[in-house]
Amino acid sequence: MTAPTAFASVSALVRRETSMVYDEGKEYLVEARLNPLAAAKGLDLEQYVARLAFDADERRKVIDALTINETSWFRDHTPYQAFTDAMLPPLLEERSMTRRLRIWSAACSSGQEAYSIAMLLDQHLPAGWEYEIVCTDISTQMLERVRAGKYSQVEVNRGLPATSLVRYFTRVGRDWEIAERLRERVTVKHMNLAAPFPMLGAFDVIWLRNVLIYFDAETKADILRRMLPMLAPDGYLLLGSSETTLDMPADLTASWRRDQIGRVPAYRRASAMTLSRTGA
């Protein structure tokens, strides 16, 4: 950015509103995401940042722009393979009475993760089973996109198999719309992970991938601490490939246990793993 004070101002705004950290060295990213907003107002970047002090609408746009994470269909592939091959079988056995699964896609962005999971559940759940995927994000703009379930050609080209495109999408103008039967399984809720969680109930699998890297250590620990009771006793927490609980405070390392699920490390409540080892 052209002025260190402008970057510092934006960084402070984002941290205050979301607890996300933009350290020095990320000026290029902030500039790239805010330049279109500034241009839309006929301002240069410094003028636009100055305007944020008294323009709440633009502040919300900035928060949206800087909290949108990169996403794609079946990102990194192996977590989805582990989900269907190693997590679903025991969950189906344990939930045979209720015949219902609940999944949380935290920081869902524009919904590719959630709908990737929905496609897998549509293919792998036995007849008569129900499922719900709760999508949460701090960006209202992204949540509207999840609700709409519409994606551009460029977006569907990022990781979506051709067979899934044919099976689950319909061409609507220049976009692709995901099947209504999948959209109706997705519940959208506005939420800031760094703030107190609303009442969401317990989940069988929580997808919190590539999110914690944006927070400082204290906020990461707080999020993981509050997620513990949100996970079913025998559920799974999935983090990004570069994320871990190993550097967390002692109470968290004692509460969460890393378990190798297929080719993917997953995190589980320590009490559940203790029970599984004792056969209780």
Q: What is the mean pLDDT of residues 257-270?
A: 89
Start-end of H helices in the chain: 4-18, 27-40, 45-51, 56-66, 78-82, 88-94, 112-124, 140-148, 153-156, 162-168, 180-183, 217-227, 250-255, 270-278
* Catalytic residue check, 122: no
- More confident call, 49 vs 101: 101
Q: What is the pTM of this model?
A: 0.87
Over residues 71-110, the pLDDT tens digits come to 899 999 999 999 999 999 999 999 999 999 999 999 999 9
Q: Assess if residue 72 is contained within a domain.
A: no
**Identified catalytic residue from 33, 60, 95, 226:** 33
Last residue of one domain, picked from the residues 66, 100, 119: 66
Q: How confident is the model at residue 278 (pLDDT cuts 50, 70, 90)?
A: very low
Average per-residue pLDDT for the chain: 90
What whole-number distance in Å separates Cα of residue 90 and Cα of residue 180? 28
Judge whether 121 lies within some domain: yes
Chain position carrying tokens 């039967």: 181
Query: Catalytic one among 137, 209, 268, 269?
Result: 137
Residue 277 has pLDDT above 60, yes or no: no
What is residue 262's predicted lDDT score, i.e. its pLDDT? 82
We report the CATH number of the domain holding residue 43 as: 1.10.155
* Owning domain of residue 181: 78-278
57 catalytically annotated: no
- Are 114 and 214 members of one domain? yes
Same domain, 132 and 234: yes
Confidence of residue 279 (pLDDT cuts 50, 70, 90): very low
The pLDDT, as a whole number, for residue 245 is 66
Rounded average pLDDT over 250-264: 87
Look at residue 73 and tell me if it is in a domain.
Answer: no
List, for residues 204-243, the tens digit of each pLDDT value.
999 999 889 888 889 999 999 999 999 999 999 999 887 7
